[in-house]
């Protein structure tokens, strides 16, 4: 009982995976959560320690339902940070990231939302179609980070989730800090 009470008070970071079908959104989530490279899994919530502080992560891995705009928009609204995944082996999947980015910004109306562009499947070097510099240029346009991953070898998998959680946490702290002193100063200025 004590444990579940603690859980409720842990900071919760809500991450949403977006990207074309087949780019590896589920494989990355699984590799991060279970340390395995498998195909089937359940929705994912877990406790972890981020920079010495206990917290919870909740990963929503979108998978096709996003074709219904209303459902998709609700997903996006519930997210605090986004991993926008494409496959470095598929140029078209990089092009699609623009659509995901546009949809997210339209729903959230906030360009500063924690967001990382993820080029997955870098283990398939011989099949690579998208260069790091092309993807990096797009990320620069969006003022976000670009990270290359492999859900198969686990390259940068932990890193990309950790980076995003830090962005989410820092942003929440900033928002708290700006909310509280603001309120105070409003009261003080008479």
Residue ranges in contact with ligand GDP by CB under 6 A: 19, 21-27, 120-121, 123-124, 150-152
Q: In what order do the strands lie in the sheet with 115-120?
A: 44-50, 53-61, 12-19, 81-87, 115-120, 145-148
26 binds Mg ion (CB under 5 A): yes
Nearer residue to Mg ion within complex by CB, 63 or 127: 63
Tell me whether strands 81-87 and 12-19 are parallel, antiparallel or unpaired. Answer: parallel
Piece of 26-34, 131-139, 146-154, 160-168 that binds Mg ion (CB under 5 A): 26-34
CA 187 distance to own-chain centroid: 37
How many helices, marked H, and strands, marked E, lie in the chain?
6, 6
Tell me whether strands 115-120 and 81-87 are parallel, antiparallel or unpaired. Answer: parallel
- As measured in angstroms, the least distance from the Cβ of 67 to ligand GDP is 13
Tokens, residue 163: 């980076």
Nearer residue to ligand GDP within complex by CB, 26 or 167: 26
63 binds Mg ion (CB under 5 A): yes
Nearer residue to ligand GDP within complex by CB, 25 or 169: 25
- As measured in angstroms, the least distance from the Cβ of 95 to ligand GDP is 15
Give me the residue whose beta carbon is nearest to ligand GDP: 24
CA 131 distance to own-chain centroid: 22
- As measured in angstroms, the least distance from the Cβ of 118 to Mg ion is 14
3-class secondary structure, 181: helix
Nearer residue to ligand GDP within complex by CB, 29 or 167: 29
- Measured CA to CA in angstroms, residue 114 lies from 21, 30, 65, 142, 176 at distances of 22, 21, 23, 11, 16
Nearer residue to ligand GDP within complex by CB, 108 or 124: 124
Give me the residue whose beta carbon is nearest to Mg ion: 26
- As measured in angstroms, the least distance from the Cβ of 167 to Mg ion is 23
Which residues are near Mg ion by CB under 5 A?
25-26, 63
């Amino acid at each position: 009982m004590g444990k579940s009470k603690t859980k409720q008070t842990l900071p919760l970071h809500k991450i949403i995976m977006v990207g074309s079908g087949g780019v590896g959104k589920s494989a990355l989530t699984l590799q991060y959560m279970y340390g395995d490279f498998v195909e089937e899994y359940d929705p994912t919530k877990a406790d972890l320690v981020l920079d010495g502080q206990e917290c919870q992560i909740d990963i929503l891995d979108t998978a096709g339902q996003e074709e219904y705009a209303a459902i998709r928009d609700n997903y996006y609204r519930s997210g605090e940070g986004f991993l926008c995944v494409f496959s470095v082996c598929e140029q078209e999947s990089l092009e699609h990231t623009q659509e995901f980015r546009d949809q997210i910004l339209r729903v959230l109306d906030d360009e500063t939302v924690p967001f990382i562009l993820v080029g997955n499947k870098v283990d398939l070097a011989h099949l690579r179609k998208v260069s790091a510099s092309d993807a990096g240029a797009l990320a620069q346009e969006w003022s976000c980070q670009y990270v290359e991953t492999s859900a198969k070898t686990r390259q940068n998998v932990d890193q990309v989730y950790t980076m995003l959680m830090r962005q989410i946490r820092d942003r929440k702290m900033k928002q708290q800090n700006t909310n509280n002193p603001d309120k105070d100063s409003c009261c003080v200025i008479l």
